[in-house]
Structure 1
């Protein structure tokens, strides 16, 4: 790609930059039930030898990824502002600084993150991801690529058919297919008061989502032939409109790796949360609790995922695949128990006339002077 084309790509991406805002607390998660059947053994994920996370570089496009980023940018232009701005996006200045925020989104969020079963290349799934991003909701994503063996059967079991997207909201017991119905539910439940579903989610505009997905030539649609399972979901910070984040999501989908998606569209308060967490805002940002790796840079994130979970991954420790692969309902994902102060187990005093005079009985008699025990005691 020419220098001029690369410059155009950078210009397209300039709108998708960071602005720190207010912090929001991270939330605990619990999941729905699932019966897990033991299967063959697999390997524990391990990062590549001598691996070190790359240095983050803002707006940098690695030459071998220039075409990918350009495709994602053009696709986003077809989708206008969907998945880029939060609902009620506004700008204001404070102390000479430009502040981005939402003037309409409710402050309350779901107590438990929603669960979205989808695959990256599906245009209807894209619409739901855009709505989730615009409503500033965090979701637990279960990729269901073609050929997937972990979550497609779960959807078929719970919903009756292997169709995507499929959304589960444990906060309200909602579960359903059909992108339009899911989006209407999200806006009705978590959107601004009296908010209408934007035109970009209408059937008349769905062709643009299909076009945007087709530009990526099916990336994120098919599961790779061999993967190493992840015991716990990864965490991805980003937003639907970023072509850099899309590359990371494609890799996660193709390797069937579940992940928490922390949405960070322009105007989201979670931009400041990420900056507080790592010292800067830049997406995608990936954290892998299975290996302890955290990193920026989309191209390197894709390489890390392939090297750690894909064909030829160097894991060595044998683990039961289905018992250790994360599934909805695994015990680690339940809301943590609140630690309680130990309750005193001192036995209550026996108010027997023969009891020896002590401080406990004295205190009791001070509070209950007319009791039979205390009258005997006083004698």
Structure 2
């Protein structure tokens, strides 16, 4: 049974993976499901032609078996490219994909570097104001950087950003939230996104939301209102939550593996190596819902029945010894398989925002440790509060000292 409180996933992943690449699980609410845990099995599953994202392939969601207030229903009911298949998915993805090509994302580098420098100033001021010299890196750096970038890209005014994070955290990350809390957050989040879209419709700008409103695909069809709001919600939530966790997890890993940090500071490894190995070693998303087999499907000898809601076990695959070697539990910037991690997915639904997340994390980490090479955790890593989620994988606070004592 999956604990909605989540916690560090790696011990549970190892126990399940020892029994096979696919495990049966009971989702919160008593709903039977499955998780794919092995690297090769997950890679096959994510790209399999008989695996769908559309919840029409999840009969229990429609026939009354699952109650209307099921907290995880939000992952199935959302409309957008992340819950569509085939031609619908290709149409929706094409409308946003051009904004996230490597070339287009690279144009954002100067602005990301500017935001990073300003936030490092904020982090230093917070540490100087603190009587013990401790500042929360998550609050002052890892969160506001990706939130600012995605909101500027979408044309979201600064006054909405704090509330957007609170709501998205309740809807997507905090799997211990009650059904009433989730539903209230969903309604408020959709209302806020609709208001943002309305403001861009009234006063179009050079932002991605205005472009999505105006865009037509090859057949001349605009996005429906539900598709527009679903796409915006996906980009706002995924566009900051995953990068926030990626930066947090990389800083934790480097602080607790000073020999690996030394490799980068001595130019014996690159910051892109840090990003790749963090994605593998401690990815930002642990078990992500949902995909549905459209027929009984055999993966690595295990049968997943048609219509089963399946979780993608990204953190489990990242430490699969069969693929990454017997020392897969070790953080190693020289690992040859690190760049082949699956943390951004695989196949048609590979994360469209991966180039942006990589660029933000690379810029952030290089600037952070170049300015504060002695930065270290202010408490033992075991004492850091883990996210109350089996989906997101990171900590809720990251107290650091910028100068080692």
* Rg (Cα) greater in structure: 1
Of Structure 1 and Structure 2, the greater helix share is in: 2
Output the TM-score relative to the length of structure 1.
0.27
Of Structure 1 and Structure 2, the greater strand share is in: 1
Output the TM-score relative to the length of structure 2.
0.26
